[in-house]
Amino acid sequence: MYWRDKQKWVEAEPTATTLGDRAFQLGDGVFETFRIDNGAIRHGQLHRASLEAACDAMALAPQDWRIVESGVRKLMPGSGVGKLQVTRGPGGRGLAPLSDQQEALYLQFSPLPEAPDSVRLAISSIRRSTTSLAARYKTMSYADNLAARREAVAQGADMALMLTEAGFVSGGDSANLFWIRDGEMFTPSTQCAIRNGVMRQSVMHWAQAAGVEVKESAFNPDALASAECAFVSNAVMGVTPVAAIDGRVLPVSHDVLEDLLAAAL
């Protein structure tokens, strides 16, 4: 892991300052995960906009994306996965807002994992709130997503499918959800406690260019029963077919999905 000093990126070691950071103490920060291809951030401008929106929602200072890009080029000239963290900085105990917050910026890298051929979803008992910042942005507090994933794995699935408090489909614990029926694509709207992920945006741009209509709305889980196929998307996995939802097997091949996979977004 690297920490941004005033002028350069330096290797970060666990220190009292790091452990006293409100991100560590309270989950008070945001992050952005992205793929790196030959030292360049894939879909960099979409990730930049995503980070800016998260910082604004959390009242964190905007970050200079050029510093992030130059850091990635220097520290990870090959390919892999990058994670950028913006934290509130040290602030002592308690929840009171800081009068003089000093945001900290961290970068870490890991190898690109092999994408699964498909994933199995299990509907989680944990519901998402449509007003929750943790549902709409990548905050440093992932308690609900972690608990939902544990629950899904215990049921023999790979990823949790989460619903809103009103019972509408939201998405995967770490991915957006799409399904296809009658040549049209469906996905929960941004009012359904989802993060408008970078890969979600890329899929929708691809669909528009390919002439595939995308319908965004609040859908009951019953809507998935008529799906001809489904897939999840995120910046690391890309597009991954869904093989089953709550044990109901789904086809992992479809003309529209095959075209989308071939686009290698």
What tokens appear for 65 in the block?
A: 């994306």
Q: 124 and 65, same structural domain? A: no
- The CATH number of residue 69's host domain is 3.30.470.10
| Pairwise pLDDT comparison (84 vs 20), residue with the higher score | 84
Question: Rounded to an integer, what distance in angstroms lies between the CA atom of residue 230 and that of residue 245?
Answer: 9
Q: Domain limits at 158?
A: 119-262
Give the mean pLDDT of 155-181.
98
Q: 152 and 238, same structural domain? A: yes
- The CATH number of residue 131's host domain is 3.20.10.10
Q: 248 and 144, same structural domain? A: yes
Question: Of 86, 110, 134, which closes a domain?
Answer: 110
Q: 138 and 83, same structural domain? A: no
Q: 128 and 106, same structural domain? A: no
Would you state the pLDDT for residue 228? 97
> Is the pLDDT assigned to residue 108 strictly greater than 70?
yes
Q: 17 and 90, same structural domain? A: yes
| Pairwise pLDDT comparison (229 vs 11), residue with the higher score | 229
Total number of domains constituting the chain: 2
Query: Where residue 198 falls among pLDDT bands split at 50, 70, 90?
Result: very high
CA atoms within 13 A on the CB side of 225: 4
Q: 150 and 54, same structural domain? A: no
pLDDT in tens, 38-76: 999 999 999 999 999 999 999 999 999 999 999 999 999
Query: Where residue 15 falls among pLDDT bands split at 50, 70, 90?
Result: low
User: DSSP labels for 122-184?
Assistant: EEEEEEEPTT-HHHHS-BS--HHHHHHHHHHHHTT-SEEEEEETTS-EEEESSSEEEEEETTE
> Is the pLDDT assigned to residue 5 strictly greater than 60?
yes
Give the mean pLDDT of 240-265.
96
Mean pLDDT of the chain: 94
> Is the pLDDT assigned to residue 262 strictly greater than 60?
yes
pLDDT in tens, 170-197: 999 999 999 999 999 999 999 999 999 9
Single out the residue of 34, 38, 36, 28 nearest to residue 51, CA to CA.
34
Q: 256 and 137, same structural domain? A: yes
Q: How would you classify the pairing of strands 119-128 and 159-164? A: parallel
Q: 170 and 46, same structural domain? A: no
Q: 104 and 123, same structural domain? A: no
Question: Of 92, 110, 128, which closes a domain?
Answer: 110
Tell whether the torsion through CA atoms of 156, 244, 216 and 255 is positive or negative.
positive
Single out the residue of 116, 115, 126, 197 nearest to residue 160, CA to CA.
126
Would you state the pLDDT for residue 17? 63
> Is the pLDDT assigned to residue 16 strictly greater than 60?
no
Q: 138 and 103, same structural domain? A: no
Give the mean pLDDT of 211-216.
98
Question: Of 82, 110, 138, which closes a domain?
Answer: 110
Would you state the pLDDT for residue 14? 64
Q: 169 and 105, same structural domain? A: no
Q: How many residues does the chain have?
A: 265
